[in-house]
Amino acid sequence: MATRKKNDAPSAMEGQAAFADLMQQMAHLPQISPAALAELQADYLKQATALWNTSLGHGEAPAIGDRRFAAPEWRASPAANFMTQLYLLNSQTLSRMASAVEADDKTKARIRFAVQQFVDAASPSNFLALNPEAQKLALDSHGETLARGLQHLWGDVQRGHVSQTDESAFEVGKNVATTAGNVVFENELFQLIEYTPLTAQVHARPFLMVPPCINKFYILDLQPDNSLIRYAVSEGHRVFVVSWRNPDESVKALTWDDYIEQGAIQAIRVVQEISGQDKINTLGFCVGGTILATALGVLAARGEQPAASLTLLTTLLDFADNGILDIFVDEAMVRLREATLGPESPKGPQLLHGQELATTFSFLRPNDLVWNYVVGNYLKGEAPPAFDLLYWNGDSTNLPGPMYCWYLRHTYLQNELKQPGKLTVCGEKLDLGAIEAPVYIYGSREDHIVPWQAAYRSTQILNGKKRFVMGASGHIAGVINPPAKGKRSHWIAKGTALPADPDAWFKSATEHPGSWWPDWSAWLASHAGAMKPAPKTPGNRKFKAIEPAPGRYVKAKA
**How many CB atoms are closer than 10 A to CB 361?**
19
- What does the alpha-carbon distance between residue 278 and residue 529 come to, in Å, rounded to a whole number? 12
Question: Which residues, including other chains, have CB under 8 Å from residue 203's CB and lie 6 or more apart?
Answer: 236, 237, 238, 525, 528, 529, 530, 531, 532
Q: Which residues contact 325 (CB under 8 A, 6 or more apart)?
A: 364, 412, 449
* Catalytic residue flag (residue 286): yes
Q: Which long-range contacts (CB under 8 A, 24 or more apart) does 318-321 make?
A: 318/415, 318/417, 318/418, 318/454, 318/457, 318/458, 318/460, 318/461, 319/411, 319/412, 319/415, 319/417, 319/418, 319/454, 320/415, 320/454, 320/457, 321/451, 321/453, 321/454, 321/457
- Distance from CA of residue 507 to its chain's centroid? 27
The residues facing 130 across adjacent strands are none
Give first-to-last CA distance, the chain, whole Å.
61
- Answer for the pair 384, 163: CB distance below 8 angstroms, yes or no: yes
Q: Which DSSP symbol is given to 74?
A: H
Beta strand 307-313 with 280-285 is parallel
> Residue 508 has what DSSP assignment?
T
Amino acid at 267: A
Catalytically annotated residue among 213, 286, 405, 426: 286
Across the strands, what pairs with 313?
Answer: 285, 442
Q: DSSP character for 494?
A: S
Side-chain-facing half-sphere of 322: CA atoms under 13 Å:
17
Task: Work out whether strand 239-244 and strand 190-195 pair parallel, antiparallel, or are unpaired.
Answer: antiparallel
Active site residues: 286
